[in-house]
Structure 1
Amino acid sequence: MELRHLRYFMAVAEELNFRRAAEKLGIAQPPLSSQIHDLEKEIGVPLFRRVPKGAELTEAGVAFLSAVPTVFDKVEQAVKLAQKGGRGEVGQLRIGYTSSASFNPIVPKSLRAFRRAYPNVELTLEEMNSPQLLDQLGRQRLDAVFIRPGKEPPLGFAVTILDEGPMVVVVPSAHTLAQNSAVELAELQGEPFVLCSRTLGPGLYDEVIDGCRRAGFDPTVAQIAPQITSIANLVAVELGVSLVPAEVANTNVPGVVFLPITGDAPIARLALATRRDDRSVVTRNFCAFVRKKARVS
């Protein structure tokens, strides 16, 4: 059964006259009669009976007429839904992020703006470390991830650097350097360091190690933190000092002081990664929102 059969049926049902219905449809009467006959044959019952002044609906025709308009409504809804899907206005988006990435204003601003612009897109969020995020992205279990890359972006993905800036030093409040307005990295030589495992955050870990080596020393890692957001708390109990992305200072952890670094400082980068072969309009729309927020932040 084709939609044109239903349109022909509706025209005859409204006009109750094959000639007027044919004129309304812009076709000749014989083809219209033939199409109605084909429809009745397919259904298995007559829908119209001929009368002197034209035609009238049979009992089957009356029943059929009560249901046909809903078919057109559903088709129209389906068309509109398809158009929304083509514009990326419906669907699902799975976003991943590192714990430290969530402190960068680009991330919440992007998510909030996208949610408001596309309320019918189902948005899910997952927090993991960068290697896990990239693994899940590669397995197509996530669509876009906010990561902390090193100097070289991860291979095999489309990566956009959103933000980069010098890291800051975090020391216990009772530390002798806590009274300074800024520190040189060389002043941390001999201090015990609190760092995340390289397995969990290779980009930031390598930046800290390389930065210290440029300053003339190899840092002594005294404590491994389970995640970067735990570093300040471990520093607060005087297990060591550390370097973290500047926005982590917004956590306001009591018992620590965050200090800018003078001279050559390690760099913390924030990036958005997607699969190179992802053709999703939803993902493309989200990436556009993120890039826009990165430019205005």
Structure 2
Amino acid sequence: MELRHLRYFLAVAEEGNFTRAAARVGIGQPPLSQQIQALEHELGTRLFVRTPQGARLTDAGQAFLVEVRRVLVDVDRAADTARRAARGESGRLRLGFTASAAFNPLVPALIRDYRRAWPAVELALEETNTAGLLRALMEGRLDAAFIRYSVSTPTELQLLKFPDEPMRIVVPAAHRLAAHARAPLSALAGEPFILFPRSFGNSLYDEILQVCRQAGFSLAITQEAPQMSSIVNLVAAALGVSVVPASTEQVQLPGVRYLEIEGLVPVARLALAALPERAESSPVLRHLLSLAQEHLAI
């Protein structure tokens, strides 16, 4: 039994006439009659009583009609679902991000506009550090991720790079620098420093250490924290000072002050990363990448 047999049966049942049904489905009347006879033979029962005026359903035909209509509705729905998925209008997008990336205004704007453009796409978000995001991308557990990239980022990944973001000094409110709007990195020499572990992502870590060395001193890292917001909280507790992306200044706590950096300024590098082969096979991912390119072009 094929779908065309069900559609032929439905046409005859609704038209009550083989000639009109044949015209409706686009075949001749004799072939249509043969197809219906073959269907009846397969089912082992008559579906129609032939009359001089056309055809009427038997009791078995009436029962079969109810199920045929349900099957064809399901088939049409399945076909429409497949077409929508092929156009990227439905499906599932697995998107990762670092905690610090979420502070960059382009990131929530991109996610918001994506949801507005394709509301039927299920968006599965995962927050972790860059090292974890890279593993998930390479293992196929994420479709795309906002990462802090560096020269060690896998070359297999396609990167849509965001504008470099300057960093800020963050100090406790009672710190000797707190009354200043700006200060050079060298002013932090000898200070207890709070930073995230290098294993969480070497891009920001190495950038901060390198620029501090260029400023003439080495950091004394006395405390590690997993996220930028955690770093700011530890600074508020007067456990040390730190350097964070400028967008982290959105974390406004009573016990901290943010200062612009004079002279050598480390930058935070952010990119939307994806495997090219995944983008080729995933319409929902292609939509995200295209929208990201539009945002970055503004």
Aligned residue number for residue 4 of structure 1: 4
**CA deviation profile, 1:143-187 (whole Å, cap 9, x unmatched):** 211112235644331222123121111112222222222112222
**Following superposition of structure 1 onto structure 2, how do residues 190-205 of structure 1 map, counting pairs within 5 Å?**
190-205=190-205
For residues 7 and 114 of structure 1, what CA distance do their matches in structure 2 show? Answer: 39
Q: Residues 64 and 237 of structure 1: is their aligned pair in 2 closer, same or farther, counting only changes over 3 Å?
A: closer
Aligned residue number for residue 287 of structure 2: 285
For residues 10 and 237 of structure 1, what CA distance do their matches in structure 2 show? Answer: 75
Q: Residues 227 and 16 of structure 1: is their aligned pair in 2 closer, same or farther, counting only changes over 3 Å?
A: closer
For residues 121 and 285 of structure 2, what CA distance do their matches in structure 1 show? Answer: 11
Task: Give, as a single letter, the amino acid of the residue that structure 1 aligns with 2:285.
Answer: T
Q: Residues 179 and 69 of structure 1: is their aligned pair in 2 closer, same or farther, counting only changes over 3 Å?
A: same
2:162 alignment partner, SS class: strand
Aligned residue number for residue 82 of structure 2: 82
**Following superposition of structure 1 onto structure 2, how do residues 113-128 of structure 1 map, counting pairs within 5 Å?**
113-128=113-128
Q: Which moved more, 1:43-52 or 1:198-207?
A: 43-52
For residues 236 and 19 of structure 1, what CA distance do their matches in structure 2 show? Answer: 85
For residues 75 and 192 of structure 1, what CA distance do their matches in structure 2 show? Answer: 66
For residues 26 and 97 of structure 1, what CA distance do their matches in structure 2 show? Answer: 54
1:272 alignment partner, SS class: strand
- Is residue 153–residue 159 contact of structure 1 (8 Å, CA) maintained in 2? no
- Within the alignment, does 1:206 sit opposite 2:203 as a pair? no
Aligned residue number for residue 236 of structure 2: 236
Q: Which runs of 5+ in 1 are unaligned?
A: none
Task: Give, as a single letter, the amino acid of the residue that structure 2 aligns with 1:144.
Answer: A
**CA deviation profile, 1:116-148 (whole Å, cap 9, x unmatched):** 222222222221111011112222222211112
Aligned-residue sequence identity (percent) comes to: 50
In the TM superposition, residue 25 of structure 1 has moved relative to its aligned partner by 4.1
Task: Give, as a single letter, the amino acid of the residue that structure 2 aligns with 1:291.
Answer: Q
For residues 24 and 171 of structure 1, what CA distance do their matches in structure 2 show? Answer: 78
TM-score (ref. length: structure 2): 0.91
Aligned residue number for residue 182 of structure 1: 182
Task: Give, as a single letter, the amino acid of the residue that structure 2 aligns with 1:239.
Answer: L
Aligned residue number for residue 93 of structure 2: 93
For residues 64 and 174 of structure 1, what CA distance do their matches in structure 2 show? Answer: 82
Aligned residue number for residue 49 of structure 1: 49
Aligned residue number for residue 64 of structure 2: 64
2:66 alignment partner, SS class: helix
Q: Residues 168 and 154 of structure 1: is their aligned pair in 2 closer, same or farther, counting only changes over 3 Å?
A: farther
Q: Residues 277 and 190 of structure 1: is their aligned pair in 2 closer, same or farther, counting only changes over 3 Å?
A: same
Task: Give, as a single letter, the amino acid of the residue that structure 2 aligns with 1:80.
Answer: D
Task: Give, as a single letter, the amino acid of the residue that structure 1 aligns with 2:50.
Answer: R
Task: Give, as a single letter, the amino acid of the residue that structure 1 aligns with 2:38.
Answer: D
Aligned residues: 296
- Is residue 184–residue 262 contact of structure 1 (8 Å, CA) maintained in 2? yes
In the TM superposition, residue 228 of structure 1 has moved relative to its aligned partner by 2.3
1:177 alignment partner, SS class: coil
Q: Residues 197 and 22 of structure 1: is their aligned pair in 2 closer, same or farther, counting only changes over 3 Å?
A: closer
Task: Give, as a single letter, the amino acid of the residue that structure 2 aligns with 1:8.
Answer: Y
Task: Give, as a single letter, the amino acid of the residue that structure 2 aligns with 1:282.
Answer: V
1:277 alignment partner, SS class: helix
For residues 109 and 232 of structure 1, what CA distance do their matches in structure 2 show? Answer: 24
In the TM superposition, residue 24 of structure 1 has moved relative to its aligned partner by 4.4
**CA deviation profile, 1:4-63 (whole Å, cap 9, x unmatched):** 222322333234333343344443332122111111111111112233333332221222
For residues 24 and 174 of structure 1, what CA distance do their matches in structure 2 show? Answer: 84
